[in-house]
């Protein structure tokens, strides 16, 4: 049994989709980010970074935080959704890391400076939007020569997908990236992906900007 600490946001969906694809039994702990439940001392023992997602594998008591580390752990534990050799796993993890160290942070900061920062800084926003677009071009080129990011469908696709389906919010239109758009359709067609996008059910946030401000001020 896996304890899964998450919220209805993109980084959480990665792990939800992987758990659904792998058919592993898991229990959802739906944290209210606006209420800063992710900063509480009991949760910081699981994820010292105070963010979601994190998992605890009850078999060993091991806690794993960072979405990329959770994906790699689940893939290694099951031997699925990754490569069969060190070389193939390296190819998978290259795209996982490009997402977690590139696309996620750049697109995330684009969202902050376009929508939440509270001060109009167009050149800063443009820097993050343009960097996001540069990274999307790399992914788009790869998906022009391959059905999936690595050799086969893998945690690399699962890591990239939830961010790319909210690209409009960062002023990045998938109509400029036709290979990504076609790949999102292949992803959406997978039943486990559909199930994962519903875990946990969307939380209604009355004042999203205020909730994000509370997080930004921590
Ligand atoms: N690098 C981290 C990023 C995690 C992250 O930013 N999670 C967001 C939700 S998508 C979060 O917990 N935000 C609340 C906060 O920053 O306090 C990962 O990939 O797991």
- Per the structure, the count of domains in the chain is 2
pLDDT band at 211 (very low <50, low <70, confident <90, very high): confident
163: pLDDT strictly greater than 90: yes
Does residue 213 line the site of ligand 1, with CB under 6 A? no
Provide the pLDDT for residue 167: 98
Alpha carbon of 165 to ligand 1 centroid (Å): 17
| Structure confidence at residue 80 (pLDDT) | 98
Q: What is the mean pLDDT of residues 96-101?
A: 98
111 C-beta closer than 6 A to ligand 1: no
Domain CATH code at residue 115: 1.20.1050.10
Q: How many angstroms separate the CA atoms of 155 and 100, rounded?
A: 12
Is residue 45 in a domain?
yes
Residue 109 in contact with ligand 1 by CB distance below 6 A: no
Say yes or no: 58 and 153 in one domain.
Answer: no
Q: In this structure, are 139 and 180 located in the same domain? A: yes
Q: Does residue 212 register a pLDDT over 90?
A: no
Q: How confident is the model at residue 216 (pLDDT cuts 50, 70, 90)?
A: confident
Is the distance from CB of 104 to CB of 166 less than 8 angstroms? Answer: no
> Does 176 map to a domain?
yes
Full residue range of the structural domain in which residue 14 is found = 2-80+196-212
Cα angle: 46, vertex 53, 200; to 5 degrees: 120
pLDDT tens, 1-56? 999 999 999 999 999 999 999 999 999 999 999 999 999 999 999 999 999 999 99
Answer yes or no: is 217 within a domain.
Answer: no
Please report the pLDDT score of residue 205 as a whole number.
Answer: 74
pTM: 0.96
Residue 218 lies in a domain: no
* CB burial of residue 190 (10 Å; 0-12, 13-18, 19+): middle
Domain with residue 57: its CATH number is 3.40.30.10
Contacts of 34 (CB under 8 A, 6+ apart): 205, 210, 211, 214, 215
User: Does residue 58 carry a pLDDT above 80?
Assistant: yes
Claim to verify: residue 98 and residue 160 sit in the same structural domain: yes
**Atom from ligand 1 closest to the CA of residue 12:** 10
Residue 68 and residue 209: Cα distance in Å, rounded?
Answer: 27
**190 shares its domain with 93:** yes
- Residues 171-204 have pLDDT tens digits of 999 999 999 999 999 999 999 999 999 999 997 7
Is residue 109 assigned to a domain?
A: yes
> In terms of domains, do 185 and 113 share one?
yes
Q: For residues 106 and 72, what is the distance between their CA atoms, to the nearest angstrom?
A: 22
For residues 56 and 91, membership in a common domain is answered with no
Average pLDDT for residues 141-146, to the nearest whole number?
A: 98
For β-strands 62-65 and 26-30, DSSP reports them as: unpaired
- If asked whether residues 164 and 202 sit together in one domain, one would say no
Instruction: Please name the helix (run of DSSP H) or strand (run of DSSP E) that holds residue 63, with its range, or none.
Output: strand 62-65
Q: Is residue 44 part of a domain?
A: yes
Helix (H) or strand (E) holding 27, with range, is: strand 26-30
Q: Is 52 in the pocket of ligand 1 (CB under 6 A)?
A: yes
Q: Are residues 90 and 189 in the same domain?
A: yes
* Residue range 137-161: mean pLDDT, rounded: 98
Specify the ligand 1 atom closest to the Cα of 108: 6
**Do 65 and 148 belong to one domain?**
no
The answer to whether residue 65 sits within a structural domain is yes
Q: Position of tokens 């920062």?
A: 117
The answer on pLDDT for 68 being more than 90 is yes
For ligand 1, atom 11, the nearest C-alpha belongs to 51
**25 CA distance to ligand 1 middle (Å):** 23
């Amino acid at each position: 049994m896996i304890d899964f600490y998450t919220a209805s946001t993109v980084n959480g969906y990665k792990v939800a989709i992987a758990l659904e694809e792998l058919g592993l039994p898991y229990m959802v702990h739906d944290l209210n980010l606006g209420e800063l439940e992710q900063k509480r001392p009991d949760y910081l023992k699981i994820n010292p970074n105070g963010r979601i997602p994190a998992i605890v594998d009850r078999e060993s008591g091991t806690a794993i935080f960072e979405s990329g580390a959770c994906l790699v752990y689940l893939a290694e534990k099951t031997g699925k959704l990754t490569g069969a050799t060190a070389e193939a796993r390296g190819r998978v993890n290259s795209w996982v890391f490009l997402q977690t160290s590139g696309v996620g942070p750049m697109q995330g900061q684009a969202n902050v400076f376009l929508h939440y920062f509270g001060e109009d800084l167009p050149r800063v926003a443009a820097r993050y939007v343009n960097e996001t677009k540069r990274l999307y071009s790399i992914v788009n080129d790869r998906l022009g020569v391959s059905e999936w990011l690595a050799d086969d469908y893998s945690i690399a696709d699962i890591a990239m997908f939830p961010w790319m389906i909210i690209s409009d919010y960062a002023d990045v239109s998938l109509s400029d990236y036709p290979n990504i758009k076609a790949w999102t359709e292949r992803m959406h067609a997978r039943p486990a992906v559909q199930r994962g996008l519903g875990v946990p059910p969307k939380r209604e946030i009355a004042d999203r900007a205020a909730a994000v401000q509370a997080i930004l001020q921590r």
